[in-house]
Amino acid sequence: MTKFKKLILSSVLAIMMIISAGCEALIDPVTELELHFIDVGQGDSTLILTPGGYSMLIDAGDNTQGENVASYIRSLGISRIDVLIGTHPDADHIGGIDDIIDSFEIGDFYMPRKTHDTKTYEDVLLAAKAKGLKIKAAESDKAIAFDPDSSALFLSPENKSYPDNNAYSAVVQLTYKNSRFLLMGDAEIENEEDMISKYGDSLSSDIIKLGHHGSATSSSEEFLDIVNPSAAVVSCAYKNKYSHPHKEILSYLEENDIPLYRTDEQGTVVFYSDGESVSVNMEDAGSYTYRKGN
């Protein structure tokens, strides 16, 4: 696991947006692995960029956020999404995916084997069909063809029935050299138990995007103890009606001296890794940032 270096940088993203807005050409490839936890309110959207020039998008917020996510991606000079993942059928995760499909060239598209009878889900299927995209199954133990210098693996869901949509969430572990990132979707404690049994200590990761927006239905103490993250991320809306992240999760993070980054408090949060160390940039410093060391 890499050493986590928490650096509150100047507004790098804003500068990049200004530069890219003034030209049609793609900006230079990134020099480090980047994970952009995009502020989409009460929802999820994570953009991954690699030094090799590859991109992955996991979720795209709800139906009101698709164009916002697309604009953010375009501002970085990106015209193709190499891997698109809809973690599960809930609207706050896949609602904007039809806009993404309409706006970009798409490589591989993954979703779990869970259908839904909502217009949001239908819109995603129609957008994929119109573009000739085949939806690949997101399921445990499946490797994601991505950047040759990185590896990405689905850790969940298992090929079985679950009681609700959240438990069908695709969970992705991304590895870049000696850095690991665990992206949980809305996975529940049941999924965590399956992953503990199957993967054990290999769940250890530098950064975790907490399951289900920091709900107490996810992020069990046993699971977090094994992951042993250096920092955690929650994507949620400010003063949301669900009280995410829940106080039990906040207490665990504080007691274990794990910094928490929240899109509701700090806006879009971006992590950078050279494969040996990890740093972070936030739009705004928030009151829920726990600091390790000095």
Higher pLDDT, 38 or 285: 38
End-to-end CA distance of the chain: 20
**Pairing mode, if any, of strands 46-49 and 55-58?**
antiparallel
Integer Cα distance of 282 and 260 in angstroms: 12
Q: What is the mean pLDDT of the chain?
A: 89
The answer for residues whose C-beta is within 8 angstroms of residue 294's C-beta and 6 or more apart is none
Least confident residue range of 5-19, 76-90, 217-231? 5-19
Read off the pLDDT of each residue in 29-49 and give the average, rounded to a whole number: 96
Integer Cα distance of 275 and 32 in angstroms: 8
Integer Cα distance of 218 and 232 in angstroms: 13
Q: Assign 23 a pLDDT band (cuts: 50, 70, 90).
A: very low
Q: What is the pLDDT of residue 226?
A: 99
Tell me the domain boundaries of the chain. Answer: 3-18+31-282
Residue range 3-18+31-282, CATH number = 3.60.15.10
| Interior/surface letters 181-192, b for 16+ CB within 10 angstroms, e for the rest | bbbbbbbbbbbb
Read off the pLDDT of each residue in 49-64 and give the average, rounded to a whole number: 98
Q: How many CB atoms lie within 10 A of CB 172?
A: 27
140: pLDDT strictly greater than 60: yes
Integer Cα distance of 89 and 52 in angstroms: 31
Q: Assign 223 a pLDDT band (cuts: 50, 70, 90).
A: very high
Q: Assign 5 a pLDDT band (cuts: 50, 70, 90).
A: low
229: pLDDT strictly greater than 90: yes
The answer for residues whose C-beta is within 8 angstroms of residue 115's C-beta and 6 or more apart is 89, 121
Q: Assign 87 a pLDDT band (cuts: 50, 70, 90).
A: very high
Q: Assign 201 a pLDDT band (cuts: 50, 70, 90).
A: very high
263, 39 in Cβ contact below 8 A? yes
Q: Assign 290 a pLDDT band (cuts: 50, 70, 90).
A: very low
167, 192 in Cβ contact below 8 A? no
Q: How many CB atoms lie within 10 A of CB 139?
A: 17
Counting residues of the chain whose pLDDT is more than 70, the rounded percentage is 86
How confident is the model over 248-275, as pLDDT tens digits? Answer: 999 999 999 999 999 999 999 999 999 9
